[in-house]
Structure 1
Amino acid sequence: MTVRILPLPDTATPPAPDRGIGALTTDRGNLPLDSVGVHASITGLAAGVEVVQGFRNPFDVPLEATYIFPLPDRAAVTALRMEADDRVIEGTLKERGQARQDYDTAIAAGQRAAIAEEDRPDVFTMRVGNILPGERVTVRLTLNQPLPFETDASGSSATFRFPLVVAPRYIPGSPLDDERAGSGVADDTDAVPDASRISPPVLLPGFPNPVRLSITTDIDPAGLPITEVQSALHVVAEEGDGERTTVRLQPGERLDRDFILRLRYAPHESAALSLVPDESGDEGTFTLTVLPSGDARPAPRDVVLILDRSGSMQGWKMVAARRAAARIVDTLRTEDRFAVLSFDTVIERPRDLGPGLADGTDRNRFRAVEHLAALHARGGTEMLAPLDEGCALLADSARDRVLVLITDGQIGNEDQILAHLAPRLNGVRVHTVGIDRAVNAGFLNRLASIGQGRCELVESEDRLDEAMELIHHRIGAPLATNLTLRPDGLDIVPDSVAPSRLGALYPGVPLVIGGRFRGKASGALSVHGTSADGTAWEQHATATTTDDPAAASIWARAHLRDLEDRYTVGGSDDLERRIVDTSLRFGVLCRFTAFVAVDSRVVAEGKAPHRVVQPVETPEGWAAPRVTPAAFSPMFEAAPMGFDGAVQGAPPPAGAVHGAPPPAPAGPAAAMPGPAGAPPPPRAAMPGPVHGSIRPPAQTGYGAAPPAGPGPRARHGRRAQPPTFAQEITEALERLRNVPDDHDQRLQHLLSDVLPTLESLISRMEARKQKTTALTALRDDLRRLHPSSEPARVQELWARSLEVLTNEASGSSRRPFWKRTR
């Protein structure tokens, strides 16, 4: 077999690895993450992937490294392994709270440990603790993922997409007073209570390549007639023996864009039902694939097109988005009605088209295209309001209703948007078009799934024309709607089918359904629906038994994603328990579980390890972060510096609000010794901020307004922040514990310290709409306390105060961030 590898034309040469703006080096490197290796084995239409992350400690104190990184949103993470000092520790999947407790306990005890947590379907956090000075620790993650594929008259194509960087995301909402959920640079808000977990610091522009990246992909067609392999964004080399092909990434590439391979197949029939029994033989996993053919003339449609024009869309993305939107407008007919909404922090419409839906006449379509041509990127990404308005416009249930969102998806409040929209769609089909080289595929796929539509990802202008052909079919009439699944001789486990919403069937878009069955591995399945002309539609498939060890984990990930989306819309303890049980049973990571590996040997004693957050690349095609000259000053200069690299008291950089996006955020991370030739800092000194990463003035995302003034800065340069409610409660608890065991002193302290503290806390927490039940009950009892109260009553309230403040300080009265619903 001969396979042609088609790379893109050569792009600009990456920065020289030896030196760059802001580059400072040590004999042992400068950042904890020194290598990322991806090895994928593609068999047919599924891929098994091993991700290897190498961490090294360049300092003379034990280190805890935190790395916020992406994985494919449909991938099932099934194993973690930590390797250090010739020791191999297999990770265990546990309920998330227990895993975090086990990790923290191990770190406090001086043991090596690693923990992997899911914060979004495609954003994860790895923490590796007690890495000894000069030591290297390797963490391996094992994944299984399906390959999405399309089909047309000339054949089929499958896509292997592996993301390599978490792009900066817009964080709306008001900052929370609670303790931060993570180590990222964005503040947690009421709209994104875990913003600090999805906002890694960003490397300075020109910083030398800090991470060795290797990607190897072995391709086994498994009988499929593969004809071509195309690399979309990277230059690759290939080798093969006629049956299998190996694709390797060229050395020196940076982790700044998705790795994408497209596999082209000759025409073939893929409608099939495969059954994979469990080892026990009592149950198994089924996968039904239906490849539709034909076309249907659409009924009169109402189409709302929503275009993201926020700051992160600047450059080629804005050009591609305008072209995509204009192509969609051009497909409308006179009997269609439509609206075009463009948004950043405000919503704009084409002139003269009015507030409602306009007829799809030539004049109205011209006005819409004219409006699109004048758009440029600016401002923040306030996405909820235009989506809500778009749903409100699509109220006529007698017509085919379609909403199309064109965006890079770089927002943090995904759960808030999905929870708000899900009950409002009411038959509206939602299609998403993601335009970016580091796209937020997790959110766009979730939104399309809830809206029973499709998601199309565009990574370059070269890809746009091909993608628009697919999008044109998707916004047209579906071949069949109201799909249901009917088994024949196959006992399906109730509520196990994934996706739970079968949605509609579109030309060229395969329908892939997974689920669980009981008993004998035999039988058939039929998909029934209603065709575009109102007649019955049916597709039948007879089962064949196969041996696919990845089938169960791929199904479990899809099922868990469905359950998590249900939890987002209306969380319940029963649903949470079901998610945890499913995750643990099938060994697949989810938002309520975590993989943790703990070395039994104690290697570090004494101080807690120094914490470092690994900075990430600026995604290719994004504006480089803007920095002041002070950002490149040696660490120990007299001028005081903050984590943003700016001299204290300097005004915020220009361009923070409109036009180009403001500087990409960065945050607390590792320290650097001075430049080559400069005397090194004292080895006893605790490392400080990273040179080579940047943090802007306090803000909540691209396009957010800078603070009103520079404000005071705390020691080490971090902007001083008011204490959180949890910190205030902890301080009150410490004062309470330090009062001597004396009746008069305890009575005086309850009245003069605890009661006023509670009065202040409760009023501010209620203003933030935070729960204060236990604190309010204690305050009310303390209000009734007086100097003549019996000693027993004082002792009772003293004990009550200790208990309530302890519970509040430990957070036992607040739901963990991963259990919150928006």
Structure 2
Amino acid sequence: MMESCCGLLTAQKEPVPLKSIEVELEVRDHVATVVSTLNYENKEDKPVEAVFVFPLPGDAAVCHFSAKLGQTQIVAEVKEKQKAREEYDDALSSGQQAFLLEESQQSPDIFSLSVGSLPPGESASIRLEYVTELAVQADDGLRFSLPAVLNPRYQPQGSEGSSVQVTSVPASLVPYSLSLSARVSSARPVSKVESSCSLDPLQYLNTDQTQATIKLSAGHKFDRDVELLIYYKDAHQPTAVVEAGQASAKQGSLMGDPVVMVSLYPEFPQSVMSTVASCGEFVFLLDRSGSMECSLNNSKQGETRISSARDTLLLLLKSLPMGCYFNIYSFGSSFEHIFPKSVEYSQQTMEEALKKVEEMDANLGGTEILMPLRHIYSQPCIPNQPRQLFVFTDGEVWNTKEITDLVKRNSGSHRCFSFGIGEGASSALINGLAKEGGGHAQFITGTDRMQPKVMQSLRFALQPAVVDVSVTWDLPKGVSVTALSPPITAVFQGQRSLIYAQLTGQSSEAAEGSVTVKYSLAGHPSQNQLNFSLKPAEDTGLTVHRLAARTLIRSLEVEEREGEEEKDGVKKKVVELSVQSGVSSSFTAFIAVNKTDGEAIQGPLQRRNIPTVSMFSAAPRVARCAAFAPPVMMMCCDSLALCDTSADFEQCGYYDNEEECSDKVFAAELEDTIEDTMPNQPPRDPLLQLVSLQKASGCWQLDPDLAEVLGKTSEEVEKSKPALVNNEVWATILALIWLHGFKMDAKEEWELLAMKAASWLRAQNAPGVTECVEAGNALLGFSVEKNVLGL
């Protein structure tokens, strides 16, 4: 039976209780504190209950929730989830105002907020605070993302739990506004702050430029996440921050003792780093669910997510080393693989794979990633070929925890590199895959190109694996240490490793300690040591304690899900830690009840689910590609506008189940809609044309296709070739000169395949290389040095 949907209030021109959102961001080095204030007003003549579902960063520690009604401030408490729900229901049934904030059972990056019994004409202001660590990007920037987009999370039929369902409306009808201001401070100067959204100019607060403020320009549209990239001069130095415990907490407890946060940035010896691995089993897993047909950057001019992924696979396949193994899987409601098992990389297997990649479309229905992952892990590993898994998805899944737990169970046999494509990719899923799989996570949003980010991760995958990682502490007598972070399993050049630990016992103010991380890299023992003062830092609030509590809570939650026995004991520990630290968990919720002696609120309570902004306002069915919401507060509806029940949701639009959904009628509609909303694909990039002509061995052949990319005729290319020089050597040198001459701005995309080409040339031991380089420069109009080409 279809349920009635009460979420499309704006489409019916009825008022929506959310008026505005204000976000204040404080960034200290690599830690961000985010305070969001949501202002509501009930303009109806009945009391309302507003229900919101919204995304937060997957590793955020929500640590404060309060509501202000007139002059009354109510601060929420953290309680066991069922108790909190009962207290909320009791308050509403007795006519009291109440507020409930809880984390989704399936995915830690989705929260729901219930605002209960807002009387007619009443205003309420809700304050939500969380702390989060900022991830290091390939260019050394630190990435902060304020999620605005919550895509519908696909849920297969017959699975337990309720899916997140989203009501969407055109952006012009959404009546709430957003303001965001940020303050950035560090021991090192802030060199710049960039964003995918327009910002007011950076304002420095002191002469050494270690403190600055930045604001989001007025008039920000709610059609994408707000992403800030923060750059410091000499950014990534090892640091340790000791934070004093909470005076009111018991000594010996996590909140009562000092906690240390150590950030390490390992530097590997150059001799080891210059030897790129020439082996490995590379498994690529590509999302082909319907939402991958959306534009990569939400503009009508942009390429689609699936076409960008196809181009990326071309670059990856051309960059693989000879002698490795590979396979490509793709998934939606079902999954496919190109080869029954991973095959050796050769010209023949590469061509076969590329032919199949060219035919890949976003036509496999929903997003069921668990089945292909289980199949990949069931395949035996190939001796002396370390498995490297690359996962590309727009991250619209509902069972995040089940997926990351599976990756963790198989972390001993592979490394997992993950890529979140487009707005609304689940940060909990993308970061969780990489964290549990000992790899690296990347997000492709705004105007980002996918290729440079993926090639950065391929470089990481080709780095030798770090093994035998151990952490040792040297502390003054009388001070003991308890690790709060899970053991480090992955270490990459230029990436941060974070360690949290509780310090118990007494030491003098001047005391010092040290922490040493030892590991083995390609058979070479290495270590990084950091000395630090035990004197607590000033003005850190309880940020470090809350991040440490969050880290420990996450580890315990995984233990609870995996443990056959003692589940109740671990759950009890999580609830105790969550209540003690005031940090959210999957077993607790924030509850606030207005117990002042006001009159009970009269009249039946109207439920109001706030709608989100749709990407394709002219095409409601396609709108389910992505539903947009105001940053930080995305609203949901218990029932979808066009398909209200859970079963209908799975079969509608892009999220169909091919066996059970009669989607032929919709296919015709969809084709028309996509033609209206999607551009004609631009002509192929010359770089990708050149790359597509490269052989698996690294060389190019002298043929008319190559001449065309070089912008020359076949006769010009033939005539300029020095005498007695092999055709393939000449063609390969021309291709390398063209790359260095024309495409230096995209060097990170082609660097690995150019290294492979240079290696092939050196192996030929061909005469006349110097002459070839000179002749090639003369033909193409460059002056690229022979040594620059790696020759």
Match of 1:538 among 527, 537, 541: 527
Q: For the residues of structure 1 that align with 2:213 and 2:504, how far apart are their CA atoms?
A: 38
Q: Contact 1:482–1:504 (CA<8 Å) still a contact in 2?
A: no
Q: For the residues of structure 1 that align with 2:531 and 2:639, how far apart are their CA atoms?
A: 61
**Corresponding residue of 1:262:** 229
3-state SS of the aligned residue for 1:89? strand
Q: How far 1:583 sits from its partner (Å)?
A: 0.9
Q: For the residues of structure 1 that align with 2:605 and 2:649, how far apart are their CA atoms?
A: 29
1:605–1:262 CA distance, 2 compared to 1 (3 A): closer
Q: How far 1:693 sits from its partner (Å)?
A: 5.5
Q: For the residues of structure 2 that align with 1:443 and 1:488, how far apart are their CA atoms?
A: 36
**Corresponding residue of 2:744:** none
Matches within 5 A, 1:472-621: 472-478=458-464, 480-489=466-475, 493-494=481-482, 496-498=483-485, 500-520=486-506, 522-532=512-522, 534-544=523-533, 545=535, 546-547=537-538, 548-549=540-541, 550-570=543-563, 572-601=567-596, 602-618=598-614, 620=615
> Which shifted more, 413-422 or 115-124?
413-422
**Corresponding residue of 1:165:** 149
Q: For the residues of structure 2 that align with 1:366 and 1:616, how far apart are their CA atoms?
A: 44
Q: Contact 1:406–1:435 (CA<8 Å) still a contact in 2?
A: yes
> Could you list the per-position Cα deviations for residues 42-62 of structure 1 after superposition, in whole angstroms to 9, with x for gaps in the alignment?
122211111111222232111
Q: For the residues of structure 2 that align with 1:308 and 1:38, how far apart are their CA atoms?
A: 33
Residue 293 of structure 2 corresponds to residue 285 of structure 1? no
Q: For the residues of structure 2 that align with 1:559 and 1:369, how far apart are their CA atoms?
A: 44
Q: How far 1:134 sits from its partner (Å)?
A: 1.9
- C-alpha root-mean-square deviation of aligned residues, in Å? 2.9
Q: How far 1:275 sits from its partner (Å)?
A: 2.2
Higher RCO structure, 1 or 2 (CA under 8 Å, sep 6+):
2
Match of 1:459 among 438, 441, 445: 445
Matches within 5 A, 1:674-713: 694-695=642-643, 698-700=648-650, 702-705=654-657
Q: Contact 1:322–1:372 (CA<8 Å) still a contact in 2?
A: yes
Residue 14 of structure 2 corresponds to residue 62 of structure 1? no
Residue identity matched to 1:143 = Y
Q: Contact 1:66–1:127 (CA<8 Å) still a contact in 2?
A: yes
Matches within 5 A, 1:204-223: 204-205=169-170, 207-220=172-185, 222-223=186-187
Q: For the residues of structure 2 that align with 1:330 and 1:574, how far apart are their CA atoms?
A: 51
Q: For the residues of structure 1 that align with 2:640 and 2:82, how far apart are their CA atoms?
A: 34
Matches within 5 A, 1:292-441: 292-294=266-268, 295=273, 297-298=276-277, 300-314=279-293, 315-316=295-296, 317-350=305-338, 354-378=339-363, 379-393=365-379, 395-396=381-382, 398-441=384-427
Q: For the residues of structure 2 that align with 1:303 and 1:709, how far apart are their CA atoms?
A: 37
Residue identity matched to 1:703 = Y
Match of 2:190 among 181, 205, 226: 226
1:398–1:62 CA distance, 2 compared to 1 (3 A): same
Matches within 5 A, 1:645-664: none
> Could you list the per-position Cα deviations for residues 133-170 of structure 1 after superposition, in whole angstroms to 9, with x for gaps in the alignment?
12111110111122112466xxx311111112321111
Q: Contact 1:405–1:432 (CA<8 Å) still a contact in 2?
A: yes
Q: Contact 1:169–1:410 (CA<8 Å) still a contact in 2?
A: yes
3-state SS of the aligned residue for 1:617? strand
Q: Contact 2:287–2:393 (CA<8 Å) still a contact in 1?
A: yes
Q: How far 1:309 sits from its partner (Å)?
A: 1.0
Q: How far 1:664 sits from its partner (Å)?
A: 7.2
3-state SS of the aligned residue for 1:111? coil
Q: Contact 1:390–1:403 (CA<8 Å) still a contact in 2?
A: no
**TM-score w.r.t. length of structure 1:** 0.69
Q: For the residues of structure 2 that align with 1:443 and 1:370, how far apart are their CA atoms?
A: 30
Q: For the residues of structure 2 that align with 1:407 and 1:311, how far apart are their CA atoms?
A: 11
Q: How far 1:111 sits from its partner (Å)?
A: 0.9
Residue identity matched to 1:305 = F
> Could you list the per-position Cα deviations for residues 1-37 of structure 1 after superposition, in whole angstroms to 9, with x for gaps in the alignment?
xxxxxxxxxxxxxxxxxxx9984435xxx21222222
Q: For the residues of structure 1 that align with 2:60 and 2:124, how far apart are their CA atoms?
A: 24
Q: Contact 2:578–2:588 (CA<8 Å) still a contact in 1?
A: yes
Q: For the residues of structure 2 that align with 1:269 and 1:413, how far apart are their CA atoms?
A: 35
Q: How far 1:477 sits from its partner (Å)?
A: 2.3
Q: How far 1:323 sits from its partner (Å)?
A: 2.9
Q: For the residues of structure 2 that align with 1:265 and 1:419, how far apart are their CA atoms?
A: 35
Q: Contact 1:299–1:400 (CA<8 Å) still a contact in 2?
A: no
Any gaps of 5 or more consecutive residues in structure 2?
A: 1-7, 297-304, 629-636, 664-791
Structure 1 vs Structure 2: percent identity of aligned residues? 24
Q: For the residues of structure 2 that align with 1:286 and 1:236, how far apart are their CA atoms?
A: 35
Q: Contact 2:62–2:129 (CA<8 Å) still a contact in 1?
A: yes
**Corresponding residue of 1:275:** 242
Q: Contact 2:416–2:434 (CA<8 Å) still a contact in 1?
A: yes
Match of 1:130 among 112, 117, 127: 117
Q: Contact 1:320–1:435 (CA<8 Å) still a contact in 2?
A: no
**TM-score w.r.t. length of structure 2:** 0.71
Q: How far 1:482 sits from its partner (Å)?
A: 2.8
Q: How far 1:560 sits from its partner (Å)?
A: 1.4
Q: For the residues of structure 2 that align with 1:565 and 1:691, how far apart are their CA atoms?
A: 31
3-state SS of the aligned residue for 1:159? strand
3-state SS of the aligned residue for 1:537? strand
Q: How far 1:665 sits from its partner (Å)?
A: 8.9
